[in-house]
Structures are given as structure tokens and as C-alpha cells.
Chains A and B, each alone.
Chain A
């Protein structure tokens, strides 16, 4: 089976693989080798390890999976999706929002690659970056298993380096207390968020808001989704966990 190495500026372009050939497509640190046989596909993935932090550990062992279907197609279509679990992003540098102020931070999260056939039938999905797991909750009994990530938590869009493999979320933090608010972590509830793209091909989610009124128990803060859909927004993927339109109410603890 002959192998072809593709260099695409747009990693989300359809992957055409004629029968008897293989194609390698890179999604950042994730490298997918797709081989096409009669009525079947082989998907081999290799990656550069964990995102948090850069790992000296050997890369994950490439795994090869075979997919079969009753009819044959010559191309697979990769589409972006948000993570299947919430992502807890910790600021790279300790971050504090001064008393009685409001800031908007931009947090990016890695995307998942969902492979479909040309007819729209799902084949599989793969995270572009392997994230570490983390626990988000007030104690070790109550909480939720999430992915861990670091964020630069930049304030202004021009400062953010755009990646076609990440989704961007604006998190507005309102500190209505008379004390500085130490933002130790931000939980992005990705399964509850829809994914949109703009005209420039960037990916983003609905905006989030955190309202801090003081108190020591930071985990008791509640967050809500603010639908700030831009004019050029195009829905790419609905929220994994149902429709997020009904989630104006409390969505659970985002800051802790």
C-alpha cells in the first residue's frame, strides 16, 4: 500500500484516499495515517505526548484500528468538535482580578477530530492533544473528572495567537467584592457548549461569565453561558450534552 504525506494548510479539508493507498494528515501533534482497502479503512494515530506539560515520556504507542462499512467511500471528512469532558484551565501565571472590576479573558481549548464518511456517517473521533485528567470539586468525594490545561488567559484578541486546532472562549469575570479575586482555575464546560466558526475560519464557543461576590469558598461561584453569537457565526457542532440554550441558569461551579 503506497503512502502519501499530505501538507495541508487547512487540516479540516476532506481526506481523499484512493483504494490501496495511505495518507498521512497532521493535526498539530496528532498524526493520523489513513489507509483505504476495499470496504475498509485503517486508522493509525501517533502523537507527541501530553500537552501539560511538555512530556519527556515516550510518545503514546501508535494504535491501529480497522473500520469497515457495507459500502465503500473514497474520502473521509474531518470536522472539529469540543472536548467530551469539561476542561479545567489553570492560568500559567497566578492571576488576580482586582476588587470591583470586570475583565474578559480568552481561554483556548484543544479540539477533537471527528471523522465522517462523505455521507455524514461517523467513523471515529480523536483528540488532537492528549490532556491530563484532573478533578474539579470541593473535595475528593464530590466533583467531576475533567481534563487539565494551562491558559495564558490573555485579555485582548490581538494578543492571542490563533490556531486552527483550538476553540476560543471568552470568559467574563466580574469581581463585585471588595477584595481581589484570585483566579486559580477556570472550568470550561465544553460538553455543554456548541462550536461555531467565523469568516476567518477561527473556532469559538459561546461566551461564559463568572460572577464573584466574595467569600472564601471560591468553588461556590456559579457561572452561566452568555450567548453572544456573532453575525458571521456558523454552527459547526451542537453541544454534546444537549442544547445549551436552556442553560442561562446556573451551570455549576466554574471557579474554585
Chain B
């Protein structure tokens, strides 16, 4: 019969400590999951934060208990930690800054898990809000980690905060076009578009007079989830019904004057050429619709 070697009491204590740590951490994980489920019935973020908090506290207690069972005095560890704190403090300024920023962010709640945010050049869905960083998934499926300190200093646009969004389309109208008809055509496009909301009513803003055209902003509202559908379909409809339909595309217009009394309008697809000096040109005969302001 195989005889097992007699284990030293110290080794037994260590093995028991390992068992306590494994079982205790599993229990802490279970407790965290239950707490998260109870606390975060409405918000994924609340659930995530609760789980981590409970697991952190319970896990620390379990580890301290395991160390104590193994014969290690936690007081010694804490004393050592106190001495190390100064050294670590100097070495981990960035982490500490991120940590504190994370705490501020948790209170401020500019976004929650699941929101779509725009930070710098990144736009994506918030996967998690952690103590040091926020993880987002961009629409091209990149995993991006943004330090909390960066977020606290940055301008954050929460794209999905409100239920409806405005689609802004910048347009140009050729001089001489009937602005009232142009406006009505845009309203008609919005009315026919199934993704555009009936109210708030769409609006047309005449923005500025440019060299060859009048700049116009057309704004319509859509439900947050249908924003892209609304934008795409509006642009397609404008292309089909405005520029391919009843209104001219505002091509750049140039008037070349070779002689103080002569002028020739060169515009659109035509190549520019100078008016011959000997050729008389009646400026009033030119199409006034193509005159710049």
C-alpha cells in the first residue's frame, strides 16, 4: 500500500489557504453576479459597477482571510503597502488620475453602457465604464480603450442620449431659381420620406450668398434608430427630385472681361476662354440667372 508522505503543518495550512482563496473567490464572484442582477435591473452600467464593487470588496476579504490562514499577518502586508504607497504613488500618477477621473465620470454619468458616443475621432458603442478607462466598439468593429482622464478633458458627444435626432443637409441653389418652389420641393421630400418625423416640422434655412450659388440648410428630424436611414434616403431623394429634376445644379460661374465694355460668361462644363477683343459683347444679353451677386 502506497504511503503518503506526512505533510508538514505549515504546508497543510498553505493548502487550506489556497482552497479558501479558490472557494472564496468563486463565492465572491457568485455574490457579485447576484448583487449586479438585483441592483442593475434597469441599467447595464449599474449592474457592471455593482458587480465589480461587490467582487472587489468580497475578494479582498477572502484573500486576507486566506493569507491569515496561511500564517501571513495581513498587518505586515498593510504596513509594507503603506511604505510602498509613496513609491507607487509617484510611479502611478497617470493611473491615479484615471482612477479619480473614473470616479467623477461615474457620478457625472455623461453616458452609460450601450450609448453611442463620439470622442475625438472615434464614434462607437460604450462596452464598459471601468475605473481606469472606457471601452468602446467602433462601427467598423474596432475595440478602443479611452483613458478616463482623456475622457474627462475631452468633449464627448452622446449620440444616443435623446430619442430623436436632426438630419442636416447642406445644399446650394443656383441664382435665379425660384426659392419658394425649392423650399416646397424640400418639404415635399420630407413629407414623403417614411423615416422623417412629421413633427418637429422640417425647416429650410437660407445660409449665405456664395460666389455662384445660395447656400441652404435643410433640416429634418428622425428617430434615433432611423437616423442613417433618414439621412441616406433624404440625400437620394434630393438627388433624384431636386438636382436631377426641376432645379439646375449650381455650377461655378465665371465672367471674363477682356475689355471694360466686353464680357463673356463662361460657366458649367464649358472650358474658359477669353472673349476676342474685336468681338462686341452685350452684357445685358447674358442670362441674368447665371450672374453672380
Measuring CB to CB, which residues of chain A are less than 8 angstroms from any residue of chain B?
A: 50, 52-53, 55-57, 60, 88, 90, 130, 132-136, 140-141, 143, 145, 148, 185
Asked if residues A50 and B198 are in contact (CB atoms below 8 Å), the reply is: no
Residue B163 interfacial (CB < 8 Å)? yes
The answer to whether B197 and A133 have CB atoms under 8 Å apart is yes
Output the least CB separation between A8 and chain B (Å).
28
Q: Does B82 lie at the interface of the complex (its beta carbon under 8 Å from any beta carbon of A)? A: no
Contact between chains at B199 and A134 (CB < 8 Å): yes
Chain B interfacial positions (CB closer than 8 Å to A): 162-164, 191-200, 221-223, 226
Is the CB–CB distance between B197 and A134 below 8 Å? yes
State the total of A-B contacts with C-beta under 8 angstroms: 50
Q: Which residues of B lie under 8 Å from residue A56 when comparing CB positions?
A: 192
Q: Which of A57, A60, A135, A185 is within 8 Å of B200, CB to CB?
A: A135
Complex-state Cα separation, A135 to B162, whole angstroms: 12
Given A57-B192, A133-B223, also A145-B164 (CB < 8 A)? yes
Known pairs A140-B162, A140-B221; list 5 more (Cβ under 8 Å): A57-B192, A88-B199, A133-B198, A133-B222, A148-B198
The residue of chain A having its C-beta at the shortest distance from the C-beta of B224 within the complex is A145
Q: Which 8 A-B pairs have the closest CB atoms?
A: A148-B198, A134-B198, A55-B192, A134-B199, A132-B198, A57-B192, A134-B197, A133-B197
Residue in contact with B192 in the complex, picked from A50, A141, A148, CB distance below 8 Å: A50
B191 touches A53 (CB 8 A): yes
Closest to A90 in B: B198
What are 18 A-to-B residue pairs whose CB atoms are below 8 Å?
A53-B191, A56-B192, A57-B193, A88-B198, A90-B198, A130-B194, A132-B196, A133-B197, A135-B163, A135-B199, A135-B221, A136-B199, A140-B200, A140-B221, A143-B163, A145-B163, A145-B223, A148-B197
- Which residues of chain A have C-beta atoms less than 8 A from B221's C-beta? 135, 140
Q: How far is the CB of B5 from chain A (nearest CB, A)?
A: 62
How many angstroms from the CA of A60 to the CA of B194 in the assembled complex?
Answer: 10
User: Which residue of chain A lies nearest to B162 when distances are taken between CB atoms in the complex?
Assistant: A141
Chain A residues within 8 Å of B200, by CB: 135, 140
A60–B162 Cα distance when bound, in Å, is: 28
Distance of A137 from chain B, by nearest CB (Å): 9
Cα distance A90–B198 in the bound complex, in angstroms? 10
Q: Which residues of A contact B198 (CB under 8 A)?
A: 52, 88, 90, 132-134, 148
- B61 CB, nearest partner CB in chain A, Å: 44
Question: Is A148 a contact partner of B199 (Cβ separation < 8 A)?
Answer: yes
In the complex, which residues of chain B have a beta carbon less than 8 angstroms from the beta carbon of A136? Answer: 199
* Residues on the A chain within 8 Å of B193, using CB: 57
CB distance from A83 to the nearest CB of B (A): 14
Shortest A91–chain B CB gap in Å is: 13
B195 to chain A, nearest CB (A): 8
Find chain A residues with CB under 8 A from B162 CB.
140-141
